[in-house]
Each structure stands twice: as C-alpha cells, then as structure tokens.
Amino acid sequence: MKTGLLLVISGPSGVGKGTICRALLEKDPTIYLSISVTTRPPRAGEKDGRDYFFVSEQRFLEMVARGELLEWARVYSFYYGTPKAPVFEALAAGRDVLLEIDVQGGFKVRENYKDCVLIFLLPPSWEELEARLARRGTEDAQARQLRLDWAKQELSLYYRYDYAVVNERVEDTVAAIEAIRVAERCRSHRQHFSWLKTLLEG
C-alpha cells in the first residue's frame, strides 16, 4: 500500500487553519487530522480528545522525555506537541495526515520527516487577519495582541514553506489544498510502477 502524505498546515492565528482543516475533513473523511497535546487550558466549547488532549505541564514534559512527540514547541506561553504513533499508523495505512501546527513545529517536522508537505496559509490582508481574530471572539484584547505580534513573525517565514495559499474564500482554499494533494501524489519520487520495473529489468 502507498504511504499517505504528511501535510503540515501553518499560518498566523485567525487565518483560518482550523476552519480549512475541518472543511477538508468533511470532504474527505479518509484524512487523519492529528490531535495535538497542549498545556493551554480549554476554550469554551473545546473538548478533550477532540480539539486537543489537554494535559498538565508535567505530563507534557514526560511525553517529550519518552520521545512520544513527533515535534513540539512553546507557542504563546503554552506547550503544544504532535503525538507520534497515531501519525505513523495513519500514514502506513495509506491515509493522508494533516498537522495544524505552528511554523517552528513545521520546520521540526521537515527535519524528522523529509517527505512532508509544508503548506502556509496567508490572509488576504493584515486588516482581514485582525478582523477574523476579533470576529472569532475567543481571546481578550491582550491575548489577541500577543497573537498578532506573533503573527508578524510567522508571516515573515512563509517563503520557507513548500506552498503559500491565500485563504480568501474557504471553498477556493480547500480546492487549492486538494490540488496540492493530487500534484504531490504525482511527484515522480513517490511513484513506483512494478510493471515498468519488470519491463526494464526483464
């Protein structure tokens, strides 16, 4: 069976990462969306084991020490990390895996798994990013400002990703990522044609 694609989706807070990942999953339920562990407290409406695994700092550091995370980073003042085992199980089962993680995490995934596909989401404009974050209404003004300051740092690194997609309309962004998946599957290094091998060697 062909190994699935490991797709990393990053971008500034409020750009629409969660929205796009949910929409991709709705269209293709074979995708595996990785659930991260975090020390951040849950937001209203968030569920343990669905949105994140909410853990104590002690438990998080234990997982790091045991090598259970594919990557981890400190974002804002919390720890976030990707549990390794479920990602590799899903890839081996031929499923594409989505990681919705920050840019530092994306670079670490590239170090640990070269064949990953890094996709950066950008807002149509800075003003639109501010408006989306405000509209979501999950943070107070101070937490929002912290995310916007961090957003500038993240945006300055977009060119180091394989793809940069502007999240203007949800449907178009989903279509662009689906096109990336199709193109990545067609890359020659991911293709093995047994009949051709037989022909050339036979």
Ligand X SMILES: Nc1nc2c(ncn2[C@@H]2O[C@H](COP(=O)(O)OP(=O)(O)O)[C@@H](O)[C@H]2O)c(=O)[nH]1
Residue numbering of the annotated binding site for ATP: 11-18
Give the side-chain half-sphere CA count within 13 A for 155.
17
Which of 82/167 has CB closer to ligand ADP?
A: 167
Q: Which three-class secondary structure state does DSSP give residue 48?
A: strand
Q: Could you tell me the smallest distance in angstroms from the CB atom of residue 180 to ligand X? A: 18
Which of 146/166 has CB closer to ligand X?
A: 146
Q: Is 22 in the site for ligand X (CB under 6 A)?
A: no
CA distance linking residue 70 with residue 82, whole number of Å: 6
Q: Which stretch binds ligand X (CB under 6 A): 25-33, 67-75, 111-119, 183-191?
A: 67-75
Residues 6+ apart with CB under 8 A from 136: 14
Quick one: which of 118, 162, 166 has its CA closest to 6?
118
Gyration radius from the chain CA atoms = 18
Binding partner at 84 among ligand ADP, ligand X, none, C-beta below 5 to 8 Å by kind: none
CA distance linking residue 175 with residue 20, whole number of Å: 10
Q: Is 17 in the site for ligand ADP (CB under 6 A)?
A: yes
CA distance linking residue 58 with residue 112, whole number of Å: 24
Which of 132/181 has CB closer to ligand ADP?
A: 132
Q: What are phi and psi for residue 169, nearest 5 degrees?
A: -120, 135
Can you tell me which residue has the tokens 């438990």? 59
Binding partner at 40 among ligand X, ligand ADP, none, C-beta below 5 to 8 Å by kind: ligand X
Q: Could you tell me the smallest distance in angstroms from the CB atom of residue 155 to ligand X? A: 12
Binding partner at 82 among ligand X, ligand ADP, none, C-beta below 5 to 8 Å by kind: ligand X
What does the per-residue mask of binding to ligand ADP show for 126-155, with x meaning CB under 6 A?
------x--xx-------------------
Which of 4/105 has CB closer to ligand X?
A: 105
Selected from 6, 20, 31, 105, the binder of ligand X by CB under 6 A is 105
CA distance linking residue 67 with residue 75, whole number of Å: 19
Structure tokens that stand for 15 in this block:
């750009």
The residues that touch ligand X, with contacts defined as CB under 6 A, are 13, 17-18, 36, 40, 71, 73, 75, 80-82, 100-102, 104-105, 147
